[in-house]
Chain A
Amino acid sequence: MGEDKTTQLPRRMTRSSASSSASTSNNVAAAKVTCLEPLTINDLLVGGDPISLNDIISSFPGRSSQILEVVRHLGPLNSPILPLFVYGSSSTGKTSIILQLFRHLNRPIVYSSCRTCYNQNILFESILNQLLLHRKNAANGYSNAKRCERPSDFVNFLREALTNVINNLKKSEKLISNEMTQGKIGNMIYLVFDNFQLVREWDKSSTILPLLFNLYDLLNMPEVGLIFISSTSPDTFYSNMGYVEPIPIYFPDYTEEDIRQILLRNQVNQKLYSSFLDVSLKSFCGITKQIDHLSAALKPLYEKYCEPLSDKGKGVAPNQEMKRRLLAHINPHIASSLNEIFKVSSLSSTEVEIRKEEKRKGNNRRLEQSEELGSLDFHVSTSAKYLLISAFLASRNPATLDASLFDSKGGSDNRKRKRKPSEKAQERKETLEQELLMKGPGTFPLERLLAIFQCLVSVAEEPSDEQEQNNDGLGVEGGNGGLMSDVLLQLSSLCNANFIFKGRSCPIEGSMRYRTTISEDLALKVARSLKFPLSKYLYRS
């Protein structure tokens, strides 16, 4: 199903990509790129070879009732339609099925995605460009057919363009009926708004949403049908003034059996993959039912499942003994793979291959692997590392403990920890822990950060002083204060990298307040790379 979606959408959404793909095939088409033929009414059709309803139903397992429901609501040819609201979670086949149905019915549509048309103006221009059969190219300076910024201009242009298209459809219908050529396309035209839930976050969503929902009444044209496709339900489109509700058509998530049918498609060895799903699908469906997540998670696990086989699962049908052997082989990996399900690998594909080679060499690489896990994924200067640790401590520790934690000796005294905590101290500890859990890292002023930073740096530079004393002959100078250079510049770099956030200025103190969001694990990694005793400075009561 994913392949259908990827191949279908670019041809429908951007005609330039379709023409560019055509131009790569041969030079004759490349010569035509500069003088493409003007668009016609037929370009409003989805295109492609005619497809039957049974083909669509078999292409989308588990969706036959939704497909039939959409067909019934679209109705016979030239039949008016109330606005439809097609909704369901991500990856439930809403967009693909709508487009395939219009391909089957051979009716003109104007498709706009509110993800690519990410604001009001672009949406208006996209719709008008399609209706006016306008293609942006070098000849017209890549300009739109109409420039309209106000909704009133858009509705006037839209009504005019729709009237022209509908009149042309009626004329062509007469010609077609005389010639008795292909199936009729009728004189209805449908406006499809995809990813409609994104409009809620637009700047002018309070005016654009009522406009689009009321577009049916504003236009008052029975030949125009409206279809909204959204991944959230109608109740999430809050409006304090109300609107006339479109007719809801719901696409539920796939059941486990549907997911099995979908994943089995395009598999070379159906029986082997089916036995693989027997042992793995139920566990993974407990975490998520989204097809794209499951497909990505099960792919590497299936490769591991096929490792004992000589031909890597190409042609052999598994028997019972082989199934048991494969099950014993894959069982240890299922639990760890479950926890990898949403992890996006930061390695490139070539590095993944190299890592596979390393894994095959055996146990010698385990130590290196564990060491790799502990290392940092990024590189910053030593000064920035100290600054990051200072920011972490400033966020996590109460400010009242600065005097005792950051004295000249460094670290808290060990003797203080030997006292037994009293009941009140225990309650205060729990309250503080709860507060930390709820509120997250606290904010701190710049002065506090610089004071902590200076204290940590002065502690860190003491060993270098000792080394300097030992090396009598060298007499190196400039070591002191080296880490302190450009501290404000380092701070702004860390802010730009989103390690530290600059908050709003406090109206009383009149200075910026900062907050760090790095986790404790990351702070420990940074401290370990500096050989800094972070745990001594952390307040744990």
Chain B
Amino acid sequence: MEQENHKIKAVSLLRSRICDPKFIFISESPESNYSKLKFMISSSVTEACNNSILLLGPRGSGKNAVLELVIQDLLQEYPDSVSVIRLNGLLHSDDISAFKEIARQLCMEHQLLFSKAASFDDNSQFMVAILKECGLAHKTVIFVLDEFHLFAQGKQRLLYSLLDAMQSITSQAVVLGISCRLDADQLLEKRVRSRFSHRKLLFLPPSIEDSQKLLMHILTLPIDSSFPHAYAVEFNRKVQNIIEDRRFKETLNKYLNVDSSVKHLLRFLFCAVSHMDLQTGFLSRENFEIAFTSIQRQPKLECLRNCSILELQILVCMKRLEVKEQSLCNFNSVMKEYISTLTSERYARHVCLRAFEHLIHRELICFTDNRGQSLSVEFRPVKLLISSAELHQGLRANTSCPPKLLKLMDREG
């Protein structure tokens, strides 16, 4: 029982680390975005001035995680001089929700009573008043606008009001926009853009060396009393061997060539750790191979492998029509091709129609008109969503595909 516990505990620990952004993105280098961001915001706090910064980078590159680390440190260094207001474009992109949320969080920060019945004007005036009072008290309000590009839709009243309030001499505020769009500042209107200082921090995916350091950081167990010493040492030695293995490096490079962001790497590690053998209690290279296979999915090929023979026949007929330069086809023309091409074992029309509808549900084909209600299914134009290569591959992967159909497809290709 005791022996079983520390193996399960090891899996839980590694999974906890993978799911914890604070554990992943620690970097004390002066050149890191963490240090730059902390310096910028600290300067705004100590020098009592306003600032606005954009954090730009692809999804999964750690923008939010680094910012949370910086805010955490600032709250420790300046506990009475910093308050944080967090908004998200997915939730607060309309101005009413945004001002209401600002008022709610400001009330929580300053132990005030929040009124749900307050109107839009009440909330916006309240924000301006609080900013003024905070400025007089030498307190900096940090606004975090996640999904910043979503706030740039519509009339941008929130951004204008917020940045306009910061023009006042007495206010001290920092606006931090986080976005995955590199052109986030181009989305702003002129009146808003003129009030926004164009400081940007780019978050780039880590290099191969940094990724390997990150692997060691995540996957090694601490050599302390929480785990049996011999087990922890052996575990870390095995992890070291896996990371230095040539075949593992090939798999990792193949995986990161598609997407080298940190979040993408974490998904890979999560799958590998989840497949760890609880009998031996150690990670192996096979765990990472299984993780690579299970994450890298080919949905269209999976759909084709699942198709019945009749569905494959319909797809081949559509491909033949496509090769004949027919840009659009519908069920009637496919049936015409089906009748002329397949001379034996033909099914009834309504059976083919249901198989045709199954293909639409699988999204191997789709309607090209937008929600035409007056035409029945037979007459609506459709097109193939798979390429010839995918269809070839799918026919060969399907175990019940008749050889005649494969030959028919080869002739067309």
Residues of A whose CB lies within 8 Å of any CB of B are 69, 72-73, 75-76, 78-82, 87, 89-90, 150-152, 155-156, 207, 210-211, 214, 217-218, 222, 231-236, 241-245, 247-250, 252-253, 255-256, 285-290, 338-339, 341-343, 434, 437-441, 501, 503, 515, 517
Contacts and interface: CB of A to CB of B under 8 A. Distances in A.
A440 B379 contact: yes
Interface string B38-60: 00000000000000000000011
Contact of B91 (A73, A151, A289): A151
A256 B400 contact: yes
B contact face: mostly helix, strand, loop, or mixed: helix
21 contacts: A82-B266, A152-B91, A218-B88, A233-B303, A236-B363, A248-B295, A248-B297, A287-B308, A287-B351, A288-B311, A288-B354, A288-B355, A339-B350, A339-B351, A342-B354, A438-B330, A438-B333, A440-B375, A440-B379, A503-B374, A517-B374
Interface stretch (B75-83, B190-198, B267-275): B267-275
Contact of A89 (B306, B350, B381): B306
Given A76-B11, A438-B330, A438-B333, A218 B16 contact: no
Given A82-B270, A440-B379, A517-B376, A339 B348 contact: yes
B8 A244 contact: no
Interface in B372-388: 373-376, 378-379, 381
B105 to A, nearest CB: 10
A76 B12 contact: yes
Given A151-B90, A248-B297, A285-B400, 14 more contacts: A72-B274, A207-B90, A214-B90, A218-B90, A231-B361, A232-B363, A247-B271, A256-B400, A287-B309, A287-B347, A341-B354, A437-B336, A438-B332, A440-B378
Given A286-B308, A286-B310, A438-B333, A75 B274 contact: yes
A247 B267 contact: yes
Interface of B: 8, 11-12, 15-16, 18-20, 59-60, 64, 88, 90-94, 97, 100-101, 104, 149, 180-181, 263, 266-267, 270-271, 274-275, 294-295, 297, 299-300, 302-303, 305-306, 308-311, 328-330, 332-333, 336, 347-348, 350-351, 354-355, 358, 361-363, 373-376, 378-379, 381, 399-400
Nearest to A440: B379
A290 B311 CA distance: 12
A247 B270 contact: yes
A156 B87 CA distance: 12
Contact of A81 (B15, B297, B308): B15
Contacts of B295: 247-248
A464 B68 CA distance: 90
A286 B374 contact: no
Nearest to A336: B348
B351 A342 contact: yes
Contacts of B104: 156
B297 A80 contact: no
A151 B300 CA distance: 33
Contact of B309 (A207, A286, A503): A286
A340 to B, nearest CB: 8
A241 B180 contact: yes
B275 A235 contact: no
Nearest to B346: A339
Contacts of B362: 89, 232
A501 B374 contact: yes
B101 A152 contact: yes
Contact of B19 (A90, A150, A222, A288): A222
Contact of B347 (A152, A244, A338): A338
A437 B333 contact: yes
A405 B297 CA distance: 60
Contact of A155 (B18, B91, B274, B354): B91
A245 B267 contact: yes
Contacts, number: 163
Contacts of B309: 285-287
Nearest to A439: B379
Contacts of A287: 308-310, 347, 351, 355
Contacts of A69: 294
A contact face: mostly helix, strand, loop, or mixed: loop
B59 A289 contact: no
Those 3 A-B pairs whose CB atoms lie nearest each other, nearest first:
A440-B379, A233-B299, A339-B348
B12 A289 contact: no
Contact of B332 (A235, A244, A248, A437): A437
Nearest to A504: B374
B350 A80 contact: no
B16 A80 contact: yes
Contacts of B19: 80-82, 222
A441 B64 CA distance: 56
Contacts of A236: 299, 363
A104 to B, nearest CB: 17
Nearest to A515: B374
Contacts of B97: 150, 152
A82 B267 contact: yes
A214 B379 CA distance: 39
A222 B16 contact: yes
Contacts of A241: 149, 180-181
Contacts of A437: 330, 332-333, 336
A252 B297 contact: no
A183 to B, nearest CB: 15
Contacts of A207: 90, 93
Contacts of A517: 374-376
Contacts of A72: 274-275
Nearest to B310: A287
A290 B91 CA distance: 40
Contacts of B373: 501
Given A341-B351, A343-B350, A218 B91 contact: yes
A271 to B, nearest CB: 25
A288 B101 contact: no
Given A73-B274, A247-B267, A339 B308 contact: no
B64 to A, nearest CB: 7
B358 A244 contact: no
B374 A75 contact: no
Nearest to A436: B332
A286 B405 CA distance: 13
A388 B125 CA distance: 66
A244 B60 contact: yes
User: In this complex, which of B100, B180, B271, B378 has the most chain A Cβ atoms within 10 angstroms of its Cβ?
Assistant: B271
B299 A234 contact: yes
B91 A235 contact: no
A222 B59 contact: no
Given A210-B90, A517-B374, A79 B59 contact: no
Contacts of B305: 252-253
B379 A285 contact: no
Contacts of A242: 59, 180
Contacts of A253: 305-306
Contacts of B400: 256, 285-286
A73 B290 CA distance: 13
A244 B263 contact: yes
A82 B18 contact: yes
Contact of B299 (A235, A244, A515): A235
B12 A79 contact: yes
B174 to A, nearest CB: 21
B347 A339 contact: yes
User: In this complex, which of B92, B94, B263, B358 has the most chain A Cβ atoms within 10 angstroms of its Cβ?
Assistant: B358
A214 B354 CA distance: 36
A109 to B, nearest CB: 19
Given A89-B362, A250-B297, A222 B20 contact: yes
Contacts of B311: 288
Contacts of B399: 255
